Amino acid sequence: MKTVMLFGILNGVSIGFLNLSLGFNSIGFYQMTKLAIIPFTVLVETLFLKKQFSKNIKFALFILLIGVGIASITDLQLNFVGTILSLLAIVTTCAGQILTNTIQKRLNISSTQLLYQSAPFQAAILFVSGPVVDQFLTKQSVFAYKYSPIVVGFIVLSCLIAVSVNFSTFLVIGKTSPVTYQVLGHLKTCLVLGFGYTLLHDPFTSRNIVGILVAIIGMGLYSYFCVHETKRKQVGDHSSMAQVKEKDTTAPLLAGKNGQVKENNSLV
């Protein structure tokens, strides 16, 4: 229970830092922050969890990050507070997503069970710390705002959407990996850019088109290499299991033959 409680608090802190990073940085720098999550996750899993990423996977991720960067990063305005918040967002987000996968596997629980147990702690830390942090950083109180019925309705709607997003997040990370979840997140970025152009008629340049195409190529390569390596691992596991079974079946036969030989020798 203590592990789940700390995990819920960490996830709440991560959400807070991501939102603060968006509020105190330009859109371009915020996108840069999101791009940095993948290499940091790979580094942490390699150093602390001893997970191996092949050169093909790293190459595909590199292509993906280049493409998303070309498509989404427009300006990079730096400030001290925003930079610190972005670094904290990267660290807490990586830790939270890695733990989402690790806890489900080690405790043998489903994504729904983990979300159900950790959500109250996640909500509590945001409810308590949110107004205080907002007051400290923006000099404005959330309680001083006049909430109309329409505003309250949109707040409730955003909460319901957040529940579905959290459920899908826990499900995807539990079934795949934190890196794969981040790849899907960048696919969402490309889709948002595309829908913004087609439905809202947002300005779209050749740079956006090239970036999205490069990102899609990177995603395709990542998917192909992941599937290929998974199949190769399954074949290796099956062959090793077959060898173990063969040894188990041949050992009694050899023991029986040796016993029969010894019996014949004693009779002679």
DSSP assignment of 158-225 equals: HHHHHHHHHHHHHHHHHHS-HHHHHHHHHHHHHHHHHHHHHTS-----HHHHHHHHHHHHHHHHHHHH
pLDDT truncated to tens, each residue of the chain (268 aa)?
788 999 999 999 999 999 889 888 888 888 889 999 999 999 999 999 999 999 999 999 999 999 999 988 777 777 898 999 999 999 999 999 999 999 999 989 999 999 999 999 999 998 998 888 888 877 888 888 889 999 999 999 999 998 899 999 999 999 999 999 999 999 888 888 888 888 877 777 888 889 999 999 999 999 999 999 988 888 876 666 656 566 655 555 555 555 554 555 554 4
Q: Is the pTM of this model over 0.85?
A: no
Whether residue 209 lies inside any domain: the answer is: yes
Count Cβ atoms below 10 Å from residue 121 Cβ, excluding itself.
Answer: 18
Whether residue 19 lies inside any domain: the answer is: yes
- The whole-angstrom separation of Cα 201 and Cα 85 is 32
149 in helix, strand or coil?
helix
Whether residue 147 lies inside any domain: the answer is: no
Structural tokens at position 177: 């990996």
Whether residue 145 lies inside any domain: the answer is: no
**Domain boundaries, position 15:** 2-140+153-243
CB 212 within 8 A of CB 67: yes
Number of domains in the chain: 1
Whether residue 264 lies inside any domain: the answer is: no
Query: Would you state the pLDDT for residue 267?
Result: 44
Query: Would you state the pLDDT for residue 255?
Result: 56
Whether residue 127 lies inside any domain: the answer is: yes
